[in-house]
Amino acid sequence: MPPRPRVVIVGGGFGGLQCAKALRDKPVDVLLVDRRNYHLFTPLLYQVASCLLNPSEITAPLRTVLRGAPNVHYREGDVAGVDFERRVVRLADGAELPYDVLVLATGSGTNSSSIGIATAMKCCSTMYCSSACNVGRFGSMP
């Protein structure tokens, strides 16, 4: 029996998770790589900043989200580069992850250049729970 194709998905956001879920129970081995071990539901991040929700209410551990998909696994790590000729993803810790199919689902950045208000630009430039909690606690970014 030939080995199953190896799919490496870089990014545990909406795109990466949807791709991993779509490959559930397919004849492939999937590895999802992200620097954080949780998925952040960014549309509700403002509610954490305004103290209406706790961070735990808008985050979900990736392993929990992927539970029940025996062919999908998670690896925490920062991607340092991709060698397309060798078909290898290099992580910052030196590990190399071979792939047959690579999915780059690293998300997007917030365009805050048109806002014009320094504090708002600072707040919009990072979409992390820790930043949202700081806004909620202190009224501005540190």
- For residue 66, what are the domain limits? 6-109
| Number of domains the chain contains | 1
Count of C-beta atoms within a 10 Å radius of residue 30:
25
Any domain includes 16: yes
Residue 65 in domain: yes
Q: Give the DSSP per-residue string, 32-48.
A: EEESSSEEE-GGGHHHH
* CATH number of the domain encompassing residue 78: 3.50.50.60
Query: In the prediction, which pLDDT does 97 show?
Result: 98
Amino acid occupying residue 74: Y
Is 53 a domain residue?
yes
Asked if 89 and 97 touch (Cβ cutoff 8 Å), the reply is: yes
pLDDT for residue 64: 81
Q: What is the mean pLDDT of residues 11-19?
A: 88
Determine the Cα–Cα distance for residues 41 and 108; give it in Å rounded to an integer: 14
Using the predicted structure, report yes or no on whether residue 82 has a pLDDT greater than 50.
Answer: yes
pTM: 0.73
Does residue 131 fall inside a structural domain? no
Asked if residue 12 lies in contact with residue 36, where contact means CB atoms within 8 angstroms, the answer is: yes
pLDDT for position 110: 55
Q: How far apart are CA 73 and CA 22, in angstroms?
A: 14
Determine the pLDDT at residue 8: 97
Of residues 102, 119, 121, 101, the one with CA closest to residue 110: 121
Residue 100 maps to a domain = yes
- Give the model confidence (pLDDT) of 83-140 as tens digits: 999 999 999 999 999 999 999 998 866 555 554 545 554 555 445 545 555 544 444 4
Look at residue 86 and tell me if it is in a domain.
yes
Phi, psi of 6, deg, nearest 5: -100, 120
pLDDT at 140: 44
Residue 58 belongs to a domain? yes
For the chain, the average pLDDT equals 78
Instruction: Please report whether residue 88 resides in a domain.
Output: yes
